[in-house]
Chains A and B, each alone.
Chain A
């Protein structure tokens, strides 16, 4: 009965209006290549100062959900991820657009995002405290193994040119070492430049390496950017729903992985969607065409990244530890509004938690029409825009984005240089995505390893730190499976999967 009251509060006209504004602003910022969800939340935070706490949270939640979905728009239509969370969406989203199924891909992405958001919010309301405890059982050694498990994604996604894929990944790890090391305070690879003291900034680097090559290719090749949608225009909603229903196992698996990755501090939507995408590829049925426009790729990535919106709030609410980077902004908002986090938040401020959760359900529901309409309008606009306008527009958007996040001219330079480098490397057969993966996971692996060794030496048990803890052992088994299974499966299915394609990873 009580929940109905909270739901009614969330459904008040004022809240509906704030959620809609938050969603639209979020989708807009998220769709701009270069602007992340963290930026979207931070830039709108001052707007919430005059609101009551629950409204502030609902508004920020709307911005967060919207920006996470918004990133998929440019990922699908332009091959440039709008936010790092939608990197994996480009792998199959853009090939769908290229063959004229862009509208279908957008509708699928929207449905998957809505389902992911709902699953995440459900996990927040239903099982937050036990899930937060799982997050805490991850210590330095577990984070090390987890990062290594993440790095095995390179191996199973870039068969064919495995060596080049691995070299790209190692190059990313090398890039991640630039700057002052957290654990040792050594300054590495800065060449005495103050620009590099802080290391390679993650978002400009990611956007640069994944967007700039797209722009250069657009200018360098004569081919049409995408096929014209002829017969099948419109939302193609029925078709999209049918595909999502057919892939319900994929949706469930990807959202589950989204919950898991979301509750881990220092991970977030980008890693969640890459993990879910890899899992989808690994458990693909015969005849799947990942990398060539398989809708399952879009479903995996988009349901996983939107799930982290809700699940990332679990450690944020229960432990005061942000599960994803934008959650840090939400935590700051709660503190400024005088809300204490902790399990007591659920008992003392149950009204706020549950009204917020109801608000997120409302936001997810609203995102279906809002996201579909915005997405199809942008789709229409992009199909009508010639490449000669599109390329400079994307270039400008990435430049503005890289600058706006921190008002930093250096970020723009770093983005451009790395972007051109990634294009050159791609020409030589070194894919860009493993570089990003190395950049994301390298620091987690390095810190986890150093901290685990330091703790192990203090307690005289270095070996036990890495190999004797049950969670570490489980992760090691996963790593071995990830390395051994794909070649075995490949051998077993080699005939049926002759048309199995590698993603453009």
Chain B
């Protein structure tokens, strides 16, 4: 009986929330949106940090709009498959693509022939961020960043560092950290976050750059040395930031809602307003924080400027990674 009651209650909540949400969203934009199910293409497989962030949106989207948000996983080429095709989608606001920043700055430079450039990608709203962490196996005799740097200086190149793919965010964090700390290590690319973590847990690499989400999930067998965020995280108050240890870098990923290039301005605004409202629903921020995400929203009006800043920071990194 417990279960039946629980689901009945959430349906009731949805029923109350929908008209309320409509009342709120009308003045935001004159465009009626959405008028049917909305597809959000995710260029990664189900279960990773990108997909999971989209699934949080999916859970609340229907409560806000009464329409379904369909997640379409289109993995391949480290996301390139989805981004090289997003401009061929219908520009009606109902065919969206998840955009990972700074991934779309780094990848077209670091990997050849991915089929898109940074300027091809149009996004309307950044809805969350995830900081990266430097981690070692739980049994490692390295317990602090100082010891880590000392080990790398003692034998340049001998410390192995796992990360997801070439020209991805983990790869850039590896570069930025090494550059700021003035050390040399060997980067080992893995196919996805799960196998990167498995290699660390199994002691096959000496360290890894990965995501805070992996520790919010459990993080068995791995230990964080430092988080590359601007401030310490509420979720892990004991883990220092890289910057407070005197190494001047921070690195995270941002996720944005992308639209096809031909999308008219009023539809872009309506999409941004709707997803902003989804992110403002009671509960979603708390749920995402508990899963390791850090609230970070850039609204439609500011998105071009922020994207420019991100490009300016990461373009030199991408060029350095190619060498």
Contacts and interface: CB of A to CB of B under 8 A. Distances in A.
Contacts of B75: 198
B195 interface: yes
Given A451-B190, A455-B205, A197 B47 contact: no
B141 interface: no
A52 B9 CA distance: 11
Q: Which of A51, A335, A340 has the most CB of B within 10 A?
A: A335
A344 B218 contact: yes
Contacts of B190: 182, 447, 451
B194 A198 contact: no
B24 interface: no
A328 B220 contact: no
Contact of A459 (B56, B158, B213, B220): B158
B166 A185 contact: yes
A51 B5 CA distance: 10
Nearest to B43: A198
Contact of B81 (A136, A137, A198, A458): A198
Contacts of B47: 322, 327-332
Nearest to B14: A50
Contacts of B114: 180, 187, 197
A340 B76 contact: no
Nearest to B76: A198
B245 interface: no
A46 interface: yes
Contacts of B159: 458
B136 to A, nearest CB: 15
B45 A325 contact: yes
A108 B131 CA distance: 51
B188 A55 contact: no
Given A136-B221, A336-B55, A341-B218, A454 B115 contact: no
B214 A320 contact: yes
A321 B46 contact: no
A180 B221 contact: no
Interface string B94-115: 0000000000000000111111
B39 interface: yes
B197 A321 contact: yes
Nearest to B167: A185
Contacts of B199: 139-140, 451
Most buried by A among B114, B165, B218, B219: B218
Contacts, number: 194
A380 interface: no
Interface in B1-45: 1-4, 6-7, 10-11, 39, 45
Contacts of B202: 135-139
Interface string B201-227: 111110000000110111111000000
Interface in B284-310: 287, 290-291
Given A186-B112, A325-B45, A460 B158 contact: yes
Interface residues of B, number: 71
Main secondary structure of the interface of B (DSSP, over half): mixed
A197 B116 CA distance: 11
A194 interface: yes
B52 interface: yes
A187 B7 contact: no
A179 B195 CA distance: 20
A201 B81 CA distance: 11
A52 B201 CA distance: 31
Contact of A190 (B113, B166, B201): B113
Interface string B167-204: 10000000000000000001011110011011101111
Nearest to A139: B204
A457 B188 CA distance: 11
A475 interface: no
Most buried by B among A50, A192, A266: A50
Given A198-B80, A336-B56, A320 B191 contact: no
A370 interface: no
Contact of A408 (B71, B74, B166, B191): B74
A340 B217 contact: yes
B144 interface: no
A229 interface: no
B191 A447 contact: yes
Given A137-B202, A185-B111, A336-B56, A179 B194 contact: no
Contacts of A340: 216-218
A256 B320 CA distance: 48
A195 to B, nearest CB: 9
A354 B180 CA distance: 48
Residue from B52, B85, B204 with most neighbouring chain A CB atoms (10 Å): B204
Contact of A318 (B112, B189, B220): B220
B189 A183 contact: yes
A478 B164 CA distance: 31
A199 B195 contact: no
A407 interface: yes
A7 interface: no
Nearest to B189: A183
Nearest to A264: B198
Nearest to A194: B115
Contact of B72 (A341, A406, A457): A406
Contacts of A338: 287, 290-291
Nearest to B204: A139
B52 A335 contact: yes
Contacts of A341: 217-218, 220
Contacts of B58: 46, 49
Nearest to A266: B195
B251 to A, nearest CB: 19
A51 B3 contact: yes
Given A49-B59, A185-B167, A406-B72, A197 B221 contact: no
A14 interface: yes
A49 B56 CA distance: 10
Contacts of A336: 52, 55-56, 59, 287
Given A182-B166, A186-B111, A327-B47, 17 more contacts: A42-B71, A51-B6, A136-B201, A183-B189, A185-B189, A194-B115, A198-B74, A198-B77, A199-B77, A319-B198, A321-B201, A332-B52, A341-B220, A406-B73, A407-B72, A457-B186, A458-B157
Interface of B: 1-4, 6-7, 10-11, 39, 45-48, 51-52, 55-56, 58-59, 68, 71-78, 80-81, 84-85, 110-115, 157-160, 165-167, 186, 188-191, 194-195, 197-199, 201-205, 213-214, 216-221, 287, 290-291
16 contacts: A15-B3, A38-B46, A140-B204, A182-B190, A194-B84, A199-B76, A319-B197, A319-B218, A321-B197, A328-B47, A328-B194, A332-B52, A336-B52, A406-B73, A443-B191, A459-B158
Interface of A: 12, 14-15, 38, 41-42, 45-46, 49-52, 55, 135-140, 179-180, 182-187, 190, 192, 194, 197-199, 201, 265-266, 315, 318-322, 325, 327-332, 335-336, 338, 340-345, 406-408, 443, 447, 451, 454-455, 457-460
